[in-house]
Chain A
Amino acid sequence: MIVSIPSSGPTVDSQMDDRFGRAPYFAFFDTETGSSRIEANPHAGGSGGVGPMAVQFLVKNDVKVLIAPRLGGNADGALKASGITIIMQNPDVTVEAAYSAWKKNSENSS
């Protein structure tokens, strides 16, 4: 399945971004193949409604889990409707580190 994390830079070594809708990039990790990629968040610069647009972007990329620090009200609602699982995470780590921590955790609890 695909896990996504908002990123402040264009690589998995970048710091997690502390926003969701306006994060400049999103990282996508495939738990089955172990592959990862980063994509620019297309609507980050929009004047409004960026939360729901970011959720659409995740849905388009088949995301099942989102690891994020905080979410605006509109994003929260849109995410609940989309069925994507939300994991809260302090953004003071790299994207790679956040994913590894989640993966370890999810393996421990399953």
Chain B
Amino acid sequence: MTDEKGSNLPKRAEIDVKHVILVLSGKGGVGKSTVSVNLAYALSMKGMQVGLLDLDIHGPNVPKMLGLEKHQLMSENNKIVPVKVNENLQVISMAFLLPHRNSPVIWRGPMKSNAIRQFLEDTAWEPLDYLIVDLPPGTGDEALTIAQSAPNIAGAVIVTTPQSVSTLDSSKAITFSRDLGMDVLGVIENMSGYICPSCKNEVDIFGKGGGEKIADEMDVPYLGNIPVDLAIRQSGDEGWAFVGKSADSPALQAIYAIIDRLISQIK
């Protein structure tokens, strides 16, 4: 971490968390929320105390993906109470503050930064082993604010799809992380190949290997690839975590392998 003594940056939030992991991407729609939700859920299934912070203020998807759309945020002793998914997993999202689901949030940077700090500091998080932060695409206010406000940042995970347009944008997210003094824990290539359920032929509809290539070029770890799996899309739309409820499949194995590699980077 860069030395911050005497800097003009605001102090880091004082929350009890061992490891904060940021999930970033260059482009939208590559699977950050899917990765964040499943990473957080898988860790909670292993008995870790996990917080999931949905910082996509304009398009908060985490509550929908976990079946939490009807929840509201309560407060206790002046602190926001996160919504519990299970014994070990708590969630905060702007979506809980948008009961009219088609409500946009037309906010500028400073307002978003304030909200992010409130979600971090004014929330009654249990003592956490991991805080997974789902970010919007790109390297804007949200990513900057959390990178400067969160304590104990283990590093950033970059999600991309295989095509060059996506990996090009993801390289910016990698550089951004480094510029802010964060470790890049690795690149994940999502939507990596599709296996036809009837003929079992594999078609690389979005290409393949771009993620590994960019990881190699930028000298960061490559965590693995997740194939296109209809059940992953279904889980997001229907509101359940893929890793919690799926029959064994290449996609499930791929996700577990990625999580193992990711966690082994953090020690």
Contact = CB atoms under 8 A, between A and B. Distances in A.
* Chains A and B bind each other: yes
Interface of A: 9-14, 24-25, 37-40, 42-46, 60
Contacts of A10: 73, 80, 97, 115, 118-119
Given A9-B118, A10-B118, A24-B114, A42 B106 contact: yes
11 contacts: A10-B115, A10-B119, A12-B75, A13-B75, A13-B79, A24-B107, A24-B115, A37-B99, A42-B104, A42-B105, A45-B107
Nearest to A53: B106
* Highest count of chain B CB atoms <10 Å: which of A11, A13, A24, A43: A11
B80 to A, nearest CB: 5
Interface of B: 72-75, 77-80, 94, 97-100, 103-108, 111, 114-115, 118-119, 122
Given A10-B73, A11-B73, A42 B103 contact: yes
Contact of A44 (B74, B75, B100, B106): B106
- Looking at chain B's contact residues, the main secondary structure is loop
Contact of A38 (B73, B103, B108, B114): B73
A40 B75 contact: no
A14 B74 CA distance: 11
Contacts of A45: 105-108, 111
B99 A44 contact: no
B98 A40 contact: yes
B103 to A, nearest CB: 5
Nearest to A43: B106
